[in-house]
Amino acid sequence: MSTFELPKTYDFSTTEQRIYAWWESQGYFKPSNDPAKPDFDPSIKPFVISIPPPNVTGELHLGHVAFISTEDLMIRYQRMRGVPALWVPGTDHAGIATQLQVEKLLAKQGIKREDLGRDEFERRTWEWKHKYGGQITQQIRRIGASCDWERERFTLDEGLSKAVREAFVRLYEKGLIYRGPRMVNWSPGLKTAVSDLEVEYSQEPGKLYYFKYMLADGSGEFIPVATTRPETILGDTAVAVHPEDERYQKYVGRMVTVPILGREIPVIADDYVDRAFGTGALKITPGHDPNDYAIGERHNLPLISMLDTTAHVNENGGAYAGMDRFEARKKLWADMQAAGLVIKEDAYTLNVPRSQRGGEIIEPMVSTQWFVRIAPLAKAAEAVIESGEIKIVPERFTKTFYNWLENIQDWCISRQLWWGHRIPVWYCQDCKETIVSRTDPTVCPKCGGSHLEQETDVLDTWFSSGLWPFSTLGWPEETPDYRYFYPTSVLETGYDIIFFWVLRMIMEGLEFTGQVPFHTVYLHGLIRDEHGQKMSKTKGNVIDPLPIMDEMGTDALRFTVLVGATPGNDMSLSTKKVEANAHFANKLWNAGRFVIGALENAPAAPVNAPDWTLADSWVWARLQTVIRDVDRLFTNYQYGEAGRQIYDFFWGDFADWYVEAAKLQLSEGGDRAFYTASSLVRVLDASLRLLHPFTPFVTEELWGLLKRAAQEKGAAYVPANGDENGWEAALIIAQYPLPTPVEDWEAAKTADFALLQEVVRAIRNLRTEKRVPPSRKIPAVIAAGDRLSVLETQRGAFALLAGIDPAAFILAASLNEIPANAVAIAVLGMEIYLPLEGLVDVEAERIRLQKEMDDVTTQIERLNTLLGSSFAERAPAQVVERERQKLITFQDTLARLRGQIESYQ
């Protein structure tokens, strides 16, 4: 193999698929300590994540990319630390979403689900699931997700269905599930109840309708009432006023007549009524408004349902029966106008409840549903968050959790859908007994009759997804997986499904397993477009991750979503950022090519290991610092910052400086070259390990090449710790770099190299300013004072990095005479002269040096002020000393600048 065999540009497209298939075939995605294996050791603590199961109907979007990248990063990190890491994948049957999809498909053929009947519809949905359900999991693989696919689950598969039944029956037996008529949010389009969370409110222009509620006694008196939904007049059973409202007190207890219908209903007093709003009198429709429902219960009002499941007026609506709700609104209002009952209509902004899925207007309706008595579960959930048994990251979201738990309403778990877990309840047609059972009963335990009919409702999707962390591990069976891997470690998800999912898992987990389902909740933000706008199809700003990965590679996209993110905060994503990170992947690739080339060209047989050069020591010290920082940042879930640090180190330190310095060392040949190649390998190896959780593909590919090249060469360092085969088999299971204690030499080497960098930069700067062509080697004279020894050892590196002709490079402690015809500058108390005959414009030099002196003087003044203040007494001695040293250096520099400027007089 030679460098030239590796393409100049990293080819991710051929690499990614091959690497993923290889990882999977080698079994690297399986936990290293597995109850299924004979050498299983139950005492080793595993790291476990249950994937937030995407909808089986789903197509990959950036949200998926973000959470999968983050979870994969956590899993890969732990795996590389030697922790048995299990990531359980799977998909959710997503009741409403999937049913809608299939219905839409059928609609194209002109078929309604009712035409097929329940069984056939279910059969076709399964068919559809088998056909397309694999799409999303394939796309998840594409991102590089190192899930244990042999443990993949689906919320409707056999084991999970068993878990759902167990959960339902237990709650029922405990008296925590009840069935009854309640006011629910009804979706007329989907013809099912939906939960409060599935309703979204939108501000829309509407009208406030004012009309007369005539007294029934024929006196001609009336109470003015305002409503936004006139059609609900058909269901009115009272008019309410505030008990202390002087305008209406006299009517309380009397009867008024429902417009058009002519029913007589009472006027009641209730302090719920806001005297200042509208007319101060409120019509009460207990059947179609949650507040009215509550008032109705307080006052024992009859309840009239006047809409059917499709939101058409039913038989209680008299002449309006059969009309759509909005049609009825128009017609009724027109009729009332004709009857002289209308006062006025005002424009009014409504807060319209709409279905999150279908988008149609939700109608509050009373219907018989199944509910979970949630208060005891919520209380338990609150306790584990309060005690810290479950930690929320970022911490500020704990407030959100509490707030919701404290105001929680009973959970409506029944849905009138055909796709989902059918509620395990049977009704005996003979004796009307209700049977709740873990297994399908055949006869009624009470009367022995065999005419049993199962409840037609299915369970809310979130009822089953709430069981996910343990149902996927085998619960309710005490399986080896459940025993070993539960509770899981981290639940990573978006903050938008805290209520839907996270809290339900906590509540159900505590209830059914007696344990928290996970110890940490890590919440990520949402991905927005490059201007911070929410991505939506209507705005047309949706970025599809698949073509992005096709064009720029998976690693680039992963790195972008990981590094752009800070926990709990939304991030903006643009293709520009992905592009920049694709360049980073390419930078890695080319650094790899260089190192491999260096290995190949280095002499084969080492004689003596030479001392490390300053550059060798410096880059190693820098690397150790990065490793320590990354370790600390990972512990604090600061993945983005960790990635940035590695990026900066790799590009800014390793590639820009160390590789350049190494070129000189390599050119020396012999032992120096041999060991420099090994040093390059060592640093690159550590960098690849650090980066692997972020950009798994390019790092794995490169690491393999690097390892082989180092082995073949017999390098002093080969990127693999020994295992029984002699080598770590793959980067994915290689050890993550461990932080080491800070050693004394690090600070000194770092400072020395920083000195070199500063002087090199000053020279480069001068060169650019004087328009010296980069290729031209120039003479230089440096008076380095007490820094001479440091620079002396770095002569070669120095000359190379600054473009100095080594034959015309004078380094001295001090000069007897300032070189003539030279461009001069002073840095860190050192004088630098570049004899550039013909380029020296005395006047320009004086101006430049004067400006330099002004800058330095400003710094000196600042430091003088600072050190003259109480800072000197109060700040830690170390900090003060640092500033004092700085002042001395600046003063020294100023003196030298002054000397230089005088030489131009």
Partner RNA sequence: GGGCGAUUAGCUCAGUUGGUUAGAGCAUCCGCUUUACACGCGGGAGGUCACAGGUUCGAGUCCUGUAUCGCCCACCA
What residues numbered 546-575 form the site for RNA, per CB under 7 A?
564, 566-567, 569, 571-572, 574
When the beta carbons of 316 and 590 are compared against RNA, the nearer one is 590
CA distance 839 to 512: 83
- Select the span of 276-284, 432-440, 604-612, 733-741 touching RNA (CB under 7 A): 276-284
Number of neighbouring beta carbons within 10 Å of residue 850: 12
Residues 512-531 that bind RNA (CB under 7 A): 528, 530-531
Q: SS3 of 202, please?
A: strand
What is the smallest separation between the CB atom of 318 and RNA, expressed in angstroms?
21
**Applying CB under 7 A, which of residues 660, 671, 746, 892 lies at the interface with RNA?**
660
Q: What is the rounded (10 degree) CA torsion for 629, 632, 636, 637?
A: 60
Q: Is 625 in the site for RNA (CB under 7 A)?
A: no
When the beta carbons of 164 and 573 are compared against RNA, the nearer one is 573
Q: Is 869 in the site for RNA (CB under 7 A)?
A: yes
What is the smallest separation between the CB atom of 376 and RNA, expressed in angstroms?
20
Number of neighbouring beta carbons within 10 Å of residue 781: 19
CA distance 856 to 890: 6
Residues 711-770 that bind RNA (CB under 7 A): 761, 764-765, 768-769
- Select the span of 142-150, 618-626, 722-730, 866-874 touching RNA (CB under 7 A): 866-874
What is the smallest separation between the CB atom of 791 and RNA, expressed in angstroms?
18
Residues 775-834 that bind RNA (CB under 7 A): 775
What is the smallest separation between the CB atom of 507 and RNA, expressed in angstroms?
16
Residues 480-509 that bind RNA (CB under 7 A): 496, 499
- Do 76 and 692 form a contact (C-beta atoms < 8 A)? yes
Nearest alpha-carbon partner for 801 in 690, 904, 659: 659
- Select the span of 61-69, 169-177, 535-543, 580-588 touching RNA (CB under 7 A): 580-588
Instruction: Quote the DSSP letter at residue 808.
Output: E
Write the secondary structure of 603-638 as one string of H (helix), E (strand) and C (coil): CCCCCCCCCCCHHHHHHHHHHHHHHHHHHHHHHCCC
What is the smallest separation between the CB atom of 125 and RNA, expressed in angstroms?
28
What is the smallest separation between the CB atom of 176 and RNA, expressed in angstroms?
21
Nearest alpha-carbon partner for 78 in 37, 18, 29: 29
Residues 204-233 that bind RNA (CB under 7 A): 208, 226-229
State yes or no: cis peptide before 487, omega within 30 of 0. yes
- Do 363 and 188 form a contact (C-beta atoms < 8 A)? yes
Residues 581-600 that bind RNA (CB under 7 A): 582-583, 585-587, 590-591, 593-594, 597
Q: Is 541 in the site for RNA (CB under 7 A)?
A: no
When the beta carbons of 261 and 565 are compared against RNA, the nearer one is 565
Contacts of residue 43, defined as CB under 8 A and 6 or more positions apart, other chains included, come to none
CA distance 822 to 598: 38
Residues 282-341 that bind RNA (CB under 7 A): 282-283, 289-291
- Do 417 and 95 form a contact (C-beta atoms < 8 A)? yes
What is the smallest separation between the CB atom of 758 and RNA, expressed in angstroms?
9
CA distance 762 to 57: 60
- Could you give the angle at the alpha carbon of 605 between the alpha carbons of 602 and 611, nearest 5°? 75
When the beta carbons of 179 and 663 are compared against RNA, the nearer one is 663
CA distance 731 to 719: 9
Residues 78-117 that bind RNA (CB under 7 A): none
- Select the span of 154-162, 312-320, 379-387, 649-657 touching RNA (CB under 7 A): 649-657
Helix then strand count (H, E) for the chain reads 28, 29
Q: Is 9 in the site for RNA (CB under 7 A)?
A: yes
What is the smallest separation between the CB atom of 416 and RNA, expressed in angstroms?
22
When the beta carbons of 61 and 583 are compared against RNA, the nearer one is 583
What is the smallest separation between the CB atom of 584 and RNA, expressed in angstroms?
7
**Applying CB under 7 A, which of residues 432, 576, 776, 795 lies at the interface with RNA?**
576
Count the site residues for RNA by CB under 7 A.
Answer: 94
Q: Is 663 in the site for RNA (CB under 7 A)?
A: yes
Contacts of residue 536, defined as CB under 8 A and 6 or more positions apart, other chains included, come to 542
Nearest alpha-carbon partner for 703 in 729, 723, 685, 726: 685
Q: Is 638 in the site for RNA (CB under 7 A)?
A: yes
Q: How far, in whole angstroms, is CA 566 from its chain's centroid?
A: 8
Q: Is 398 in the site for RNA (CB under 7 A)?
A: no
**Applying CB under 7 A, which of residues 201, 322, 547, 740 lies at the interface with RNA?**
201
- Select the span of 308-316, 475-483, 509-517, 653-661 touching RNA (CB under 7 A): 653-661
Q: How far, in whole angstroms, is CA 626 from its chain's centroid?
A: 24
**Applying CB under 7 A, which of residues 59, 196, 551, 746 lies at the interface with RNA?**
196
